RNA sequence: GACCCGGUAGCUCAGUUGGCAGAGCAACUGACUUUUAAUCAGUAGGUCGUGGGUUCGAGCCCCACCCGGGUCACCA
C-alpha cells in the first residue's frame, strides 16, 4: 500500500494533520525537535509576574520578565493579524499572544501549520491583557512536536466571579479513557493530579516506615507455591526448570521467613496478582504494602497504622479528612475498635457466642445471604458481619478478633481460643488494612495448613496450600511478630475521593481490543 | 457468571411510527491586531460495535456475538 493510499484511508481530521506535516517539512522546519531549554514554567511565570506587579517593578508597557516556555497547545483563537493560544506544561496553563508585527510575517504565517495538541516553545515578555490574564507576548516560537492526532480537549469556560470551570464536550467515554490513558491524562489535569497524589502517598509510606527502622526488601514474584492469602493465582511455567510457577497472591510467607532470619523489621511494596473478577474495588494486578515487626503484636500494629494514616494525611492531603463523594469523614485517633463477634451480636441483638451453628445459618438465610453451602461457623459469622455491619463502617474502624477458621496464619487470641488476634481496618466501607499477631507455633501452623488442605479437598480451591519450607522456617523460631497488609490502591482511592479502583491505576486491566 | 444501561462524524450527543443519517464543538476556506466556550460567512466529514434475519425498505424490529459502565455474585 502506497503512502497516498494510507493517507486516503485516514479520516479527514487526521489527513489534514498529515498535510500540515508535509508543509512543515517543505518549509524546512523540524516537526519533531530534539530538545528545548525552557527558562520557566507556566505557574512560575504567572507567580513571578504577579510578584513584580505587587512590587510595582514592571518595565515599560507593563512588561514583566522575559520567559522561555515549552508546552502543549490546548486552545487556539485566531483573530486575523493576532492569535491567542493557551499552552499547558505540567505545571499549569498559560496564555500566549502572537502579533504579526511582533513575530514577523514569515513566522506569523507559519502559525497556520499549528494545531491544538502540538508541542511548541515560545519566548517573550509577560504582560496582562485588557481582560486581566497574565500572558506571554510571543517574540519568537518554535515547533517542538507536530501532533498528528487531535486530543479531545473540551472547551473550558471559567466564571469570572466564582472561578468555577465548566467543560463543554470533552472526553467522556470511560472505555476510551482507560484504553488511551495517555489521552485521558493529556486532557484532564485532575486525572494527572490523582496520580501525582498516588506517587506522593507511596513516597510518604516508604518514608514513614524507613524512619521507624524498617528495611525495604524484595521477595519473589514468581513462586513455586503460592500462599499468604486465600485467592486463585495466575499460573505460568518456567521452561528451563520445566516447573509450574505462580504469580504471588501475597508477600506474607516470604517476609516472615526474613523475620526468622533476623531482619527484624521488613516491608515490601509489591504488585500482587489474583485471578479473580474485576470490580469497582478489585483489579487482578494490584499494589500491596506489607510489613512485619518482630516483638510486636496486633495491638502495637493498630497504633502504628493510626500513626501511618495520620502521617500520610498530614504530609500529602494537608487535613485530617477523607472526602468520598458528598461525604466528609473526619479522621481522628484513636480509631474505633469493634470486635467482629460483639459488633455482630449488637446488630442481631443476640449474643453470637450463645448461638448454635444452626441458628447462625437460619439468620443468614433470613437475610438472604447467598452461597451458604458448606459454610462453617466462622464463615457464617463473617458473612453476617459483612452484610449487616461492614457497609456502615465509614469512619476509620478496626474490626478485631476474627474466628479462627478464617485466619490460618494468625495467632490464637490470648483470651479466647475460638478467635484470633487479627484486625481489618475499614474506611468508607472498604477494607484497607489486614493484620495479625502472626502465628509462630510451627505445630499449630501445620495443623492450620492441614485444615486448609481438607477444605481444599472438599472443593474450596482458594484454601491455602501446605508450605513445608515455611513450616521448617518456623521450626527454627520466629520471634513474636505483628504484621500488616495494606491495599495501596484502595487507600489512594480514599485519599483522592475516587470511587473506582480503575481511577487510581494508570493502566487498569481491560479485555484486549479486537 | 447473572441482570440493567450503553456503543451513531475526531469529540459530546440527538435520531419520532421502519421511509434520503442530524446538531454543537473540532476540521477546512475566507474576514477580523487585547481574545478567552472569540465572533461572522461558507465547505467538507459516516463500516450507525460485528455478523445474520424479517421487510419493498432497518440506526430503529428479531437472533447471535464483541466491547465498556453499573449492580449483584465471587473475593485476607
Q: What is the per-residue pLDDT across A110-152, written as a single tens digit (0 to 9) for each?
A: 999 999 999 999 999 999 999 999 999 999 999 999 999 999 9
- Tell me what pLDDT residue A2 has: 40
- Tell me what pLDDT residue A326 has: 74
Task: Determine contact, residues A119/A137, Cβ cutoff 8 Å.
Answer: no
Same domain, A131 and A261: no
Does position A399 have pLDDT exceeding 90, yes or no? yes
Cell of A412: 490464637
Assign A409 a pLDDT band (cuts: 50, 70, 90): very high
Task: Determine contact, residues A343/A386, Cβ cutoff 8 Å.
Answer: no
Assign A328 a pLDDT band (cuts: 50, 70, 90): confident
- Tell me what pLDDT residue A5 has: 45
d(CA A503, CA A509): 12
- Tell me what pLDDT residue A57 has: 87
Residue with nearest Cα to nucleotide B11 C1': A152
Q: Is residue A354 part of a domain?
A: no
Same domain, A144 and A204: no
Strand pairing category for A416-420 and A412-413: antiparallel
> What ipTM was assigned to the predicted interfaces of this complex?
0.91
Region A461-490 average pLDDT:
93
Helical H segments across A27-132, by residue range: 42-54, 100-103, 105-110
A129 touches strand B (CB under 7 A): yes
User: Residue A290 to residues A12, A127, A216, A474: CA-CA distances in angstroms?
Assistant: 52, 52, 10, 19
Q: Is residue A349 part of a domain?
A: no
CA A369 remoteness from chain centre: 31
A107 CA to B50 C1', in Å? Answer: 48
What's the pTM? 0.93
Same domain, A62 and A205: no
Task: Determine contact, residues A400/A433, Cβ cutoff 8 Å.
Answer: no
A81 touches strand B (CB under 7 A): yes
A262 touches strand B (CB under 7 A): no
Q: What is the per-residue pLDDT across A156-200, written as a single tens digit (0 to 9) for each?
A: 888 777 777 788 888 989 999 999 999 999 999 999 999 999 999
Same domain, A57 and A146: yes
| Residue-range definition of the domain harbouring residue A468 | 199-335+395-504
Q: Is residue A206 part of a domain?
A: yes
Assign A9 a pLDDT band (cuts: 50, 70, 90): low
- Tell me what pLDDT residue A327 has: 80
A79 touches strand B (CB under 7 A): yes
For residue A219, count CB atoms less than 10 angstroms from its CB and return exposed for 0-12, middle for 13-18, buried for 19 or more: middle
Last residue of a domain, one of A150, A185, A210: A150
Residues 6+ apart with CB under 8 A from A234: A246, A247, A273, A275, A284
Helical H segments across A351-467, by residue range: 357-366, 377-388, 442-457
What's the number of domains chain A is made of?
2
CATH number of the domain enclosing A43: 2.40.50.140
- Tell me what pLDDT residue A61 has: 82
A487 CA to B49 C1', in Å? Answer: 36
Of A230, A284, A281, give the one whose Cα is nearest residue A252: A230
Chain B bases closer than 7 angstroms to a protein Cβ: 1, 6, 9-13, 24-29, 31-39, 44-46, 66-76
Q: Is residue A404 part of a domain?
A: yes
Region A261-274 average pLDDT:
96
Q: Is residue A73 part of a domain?
A: yes
Region A201-230 average pLDDT:
95
Region A366-372 average pLDDT:
73
Q: Quick one: DSSP state of residue A376?
A: -
CATH number of the domain enclosing A422: 3.30.930.10
Last residue of a domain, one of A134, A150, A166: A150
Q: Is residue A352 part of a domain?
A: no
Q: Is residue A463 part of a domain?
A: yes
Assign A372 a pLDDT band (cuts: 50, 70, 90): low
Amino acid at each position: 500500500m502506497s503512502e497516498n493510499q494510507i493517507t486516503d484511508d485516514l479520516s479527514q481530521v487526521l489527513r489534514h494533520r498529515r498535510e500540515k506535516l508535509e508543509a512543515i517539512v517543505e518549509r524546512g522546519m523540524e516537526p519533531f525537535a530534539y530538545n528545548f531549554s525552557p527558562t520557566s514554567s507556566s505557574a512560575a511565570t504567572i507567580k513571578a509576574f504577579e510578584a513584580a506587579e505587587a512590587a510595582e517593578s514592571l518595565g515599560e508597557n507593563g512588561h514583566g520578565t522575559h520567559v522561555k516556555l515549552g508546552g502543549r497547545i490546548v486552545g487556539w483563537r485566531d483573530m486575523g493579524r493576532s492569535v491567542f493560544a493557551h499552552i499547558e506544561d505540567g505545571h499549569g496553563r498559560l496564555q500566549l499572544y502572537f502579533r504579526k508585527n511582533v513575530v514577523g510575517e514569515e513566522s506569523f504565517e507559519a502559525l497556520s501549520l499549528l494545531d491544538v495538541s502540538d508541542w511548541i516553545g515560545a519566548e517573550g515578555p509577560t504582560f496582562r491583557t485588557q481582560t486581566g490574564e497574565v500572558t506571554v507576548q510571543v517574540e519568537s516560537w518554535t515547533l517542538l512536536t507536530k501532533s498528528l492526532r487531535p486530543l479531545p480537549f473540551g472547551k473550558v469556560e471559567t466564571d469570572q466571579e466564582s472561578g468555577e470551570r465548566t467543560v463543554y464536550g470533552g472526553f467522556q467515554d470511560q472505555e476510551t479513557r482507560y484504553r488511551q490513558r495517555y489521552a485521558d491524562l493529556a486532557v484532564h489535569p485532575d486525572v494527572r493530579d490523582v496520580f501525582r497524589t498516588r506517587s506522593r502517598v507511596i513516597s510518604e509510606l516508604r518514608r514513614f516506615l524507613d524512619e521507624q527502622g524498617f528495611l525495604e526488601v524484595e521477595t519473589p514474584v514468581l513462586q513455586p507455591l503460592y500462599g499468604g492469602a486465600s485467592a486463585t493465582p495466575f499460573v505460568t511455567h518456567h521452561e528451563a526448570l520445566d516447573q509450574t510457577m505462580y504469580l504471588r497472591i501475597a508477600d506474607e510467607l516470604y517476609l516472615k521467613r526474613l523475620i526468622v532470619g533476623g531482619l527484624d523489621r521488613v516491608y515490601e511494596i509489591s504488585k500482587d496478582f489474583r485471578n479473580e473478577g474485576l470490580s469497582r474495588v478489585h483489579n487482578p494486578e494490584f499494589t500491596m504494602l506489607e510489613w512485619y515487626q518482630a516483638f510486636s503484636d496486633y495491638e502495637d500494629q493498630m497504633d502504628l497504622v493510626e500513626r501511618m494514616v495520620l502521617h500520610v494525611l498530614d504530609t500529602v492531603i494537608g487535613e485530617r479528612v477523607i472526602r468520598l463523594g458528598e461525604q466528609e469523614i473526619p479522621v481522628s485517633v484513636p480509631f474505633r475498635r469493634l470486635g467482629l463477634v460483639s459488633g455482630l451480636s449488637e446488630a442481631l441483638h443476640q449474643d453470637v457466642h450463645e448461638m448454635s451453628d444452626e441458628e447462625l445459618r437460619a439468620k443468614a438465610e433470613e437475610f438472604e445471604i447467598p452461597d451458604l453451602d458448606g459454610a462453617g461457623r466462622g464463615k457464617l459469622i463473617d458473612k453476617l458481619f459483612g452484610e449487616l455491619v461492614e457497609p456502615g463502617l465509614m469512619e476509620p474502624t478496626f474490626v478485631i478478633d476474627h474466628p479462627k477458621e478464617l485466619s490460618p496464619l494468625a495467632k490464637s487470641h490470648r483470651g479466647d481460643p475460638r478467635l484470633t488476634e487479627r484486625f481489618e481496618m475499614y474506611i468508607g466501607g472498604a477494607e484497607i488494612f489486614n493484620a495479625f499477631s502472626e502465628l509462630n507455633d510451627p505445630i499449630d501452623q501445620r495443623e492450620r495448613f492441614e485444615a486448609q488442605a481438607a477444605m481444599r479437598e472438599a472443593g474450596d480451591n482458594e484454601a491455602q496450600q501446605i508450605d513445608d519450607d515455611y513450616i521448617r522456617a518456623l521450626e527454627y523460631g520466629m520471634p513474636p511478630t505483628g504484621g500488616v497488609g495494606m491495599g495501596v490502591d484502595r487507600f489512594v482511592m480514599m485519599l483522592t475521593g475516587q470511587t473506582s479502583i480503575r481511577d487510581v491505576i494508570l493502566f487498569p486491566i481491560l479485555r484486549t481490543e479486537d
